Amino acid sequence: MDALFSTHSIGISDLREAPARAFEQAGDQAVAVLNHNRPAGYILSNQLMARILDQLADRAVSAKAQSRLATLKTARKISIDEI
């Protein structure tokens, strides 16, 4: 059986009948869309999508900072005029 990554789910037929109900059902959580009782996809609210994108951006910045910390000892000081 496929794993569900949501506590809320809706059948694809129900989604076709009333798409807004899927968002109302979950609030700011993901809704799994089921096709023959198997996950076919997920619906995300704007708030959840924004949070996910913020977390991904934070991870990217953190990874870049970690890689730059490794070269800190070889860095040289510059004055504001050199920038």
With respect to residue 82, please indicate whether it lies within any of the assigned structural domains: no
State the pLDDT at residue 75.
84
What is d(CA 4, CA 31) in angstroms, rounded to the nearest whole number? 10
With respect to residue 60, please indicate whether it lies within any of the assigned structural domains: yes
- Assign residue 21 the CATH number of its domain: 3.40.1620
**Whole-structure pTM value:** 0.70
With respect to residue 39, please indicate whether it lies within any of the assigned structural domains: yes
Please give the residue range of the domain that contains residue 52: 8-69
Domain count across the chain: 1
With respect to residue 31, please indicate whether it lies within any of the assigned structural domains: yes
pLDDT 10s digits, 3-48: 999 988 999 999 999 998 888 877 888 999 999 999 999 999 888 9
SS3 39: strand
State the pLDDT at residue 1.
66
With respect to residue 57, please indicate whether it lies within any of the assigned structural domains: yes
With respect to residue 1, please indicate whether it lies within any of the assigned structural domains: no
